[in-house]
Amino acid sequence: MPDQVINEIREALVLARSQFEYLSDLGIETQTTEFHDGSKNHPCIGTYSALQETLDTIRTDLGDCQRCGLAASRTKLVFGVGNPNARLVLVGEAPGREEDLKGEPFVGEAGQLLDRILLAMGMQREDVYLCNVLKCRPPDNRDPNPDEVATCEPFLVRQLAVIRPQVIVGLGRFAVHSLLKTKTPISRLRGEWQRYQGIPLMPTYHPAYLLRNPEAKRDVWEDMKEVLRMLNAEGGG
Ligand code: URA
Ligand code: URA
């Protein structure tokens, strides 16, 4: 990694520590056990009523999904990972090669950069929830097809409805365009608060884009500071 980047991360960390220390326990909440036990033991589970749905029921519903053509080429379905009570959800595009092999989102090079961005925000990936618009890898990382999005997006909608985070971050053009149903360039959308189902959504660049365009890291850090401000304004719990 270039020294300049390491210095930027170091600076960001110092800033994060001093200004946002109170956020370090973000997402460690008291209701996890209650929420899960209550839901699991409920006799109505499986009816997908909005009240009883959990991330587990959505995952179960996906099952060994064969709803679109990506099933044939995927290794593992990549559902999502993190804190089911997260105050912050970050949504990416689709699994890449590493994610497809591991069954976990953002574990490749872009994911490692995302981990560092989270760290600079005073967070760990366990504190937030990470998922993608598509749950399966498009071959050769091609852009997702509209029919694949149409088939898969309802599961993302359900994930976000169950978690109901205080803030959503849309990572990159594809996720932001899918979530907001717009074609406005990401360069114009980023940094400005949008709403998704009433939840504040911050569009920003994708970490894979940052790997190719390190100068854009400054913009992403500005966007993440806005996210921290919003989380702070929304309060804990
Ligand atoms: N890029 C994404 O958009 N999502 C991942 O999970 C990995 C890379
Ligand atoms: N283009 C993309 O697809 N994503 C970005 O984050 C930036 C440019």
pLDDT in tens, 84-111: 999 999 999 999 999 999 999 999 999 9
Helix (H) or strand (E) holding 229: helix 217-234
DSSP helix/strand/coil, 121: coil
Average pLDDT of 165-171?
98
CATH at residue 152: 3.40.470.10
172 CA: nearest ligand 2 atom: 6
205 CA: nearest ligand 2 atom: 6
Q: How many CA atoms lie within 13 A of 83 on its CB side?
A: 22
Tally the domains of the chain.
1
Contact 132, 105 (CB under 8 A): yes
CA 159 to CA 35: how far, in whole Å?
15
How is residue 145 written in tokens?
Answer: 């097809």
Residue nearest to atom 3 of ligand 2 (CA): 173
Exposed e or buried b per residue across 21-30, where buried means at least 16 C-beta atoms within 10 angstroms of its C-beta: eebeebbebe
141: domain range? 3-234
For 63-92, what is each residue's pLDDT tens digit? 999 999 999 999 999 999 999 999 999 999
Q: Is 90 exceeded by the pLDDT of residue 51?
A: no
Q: 216: CA distance to ligand 1 center in Å?
A: 18
3-state helix, strand, coil in the chain (%, to 5): 50, 10, 40
Closest CA to 131 of 82, 183, 189: 82
Average pLDDT of 129-147?
97
Pocket test for ligand 2, best of 206, 210, 212, 224 (most atoms within 8 A of CB): 206
**Residue whose structure tokens are 């939840």:** 199
Between the two ends of the chain, the Cα-to-Cα distance in Å is 37
Contact 202, 169 (CB under 8 A): yes
CA 55 to CA 32: how far, in whole Å?
12
- CA geometry: angle 131, 121, 33, nearest 5 deg: 55
Contact 88, 118 (CB under 8 A): no
Q: 26: CA distance to ligand 2 center in Å?
A: 28
213 CA: nearest ligand 2 atom: 7
Query: For ligand 1, which residues put their CB under 6 angstroms from it?
Result: 92-96, 99, 105-106, 108, 110-111, 132, 208
Could you give the dihedral angle defined by the CA atoms of residues 175, 17, 226 and 234, in that order, rounded to the nearest 10 degrees? 100
Q: 227: CA distance to ligand 2 center in Å?
A: 19
Q: 68: CA distance to ligand 2 center in Å?
A: 25
Q: 103: CA distance to ligand 2 center in Å?
A: 23
pLDDT band at residue 10 under the 50/70/90 scheme? low
- The residues that bridge with 131 in the sheet, in sequence order, are 91
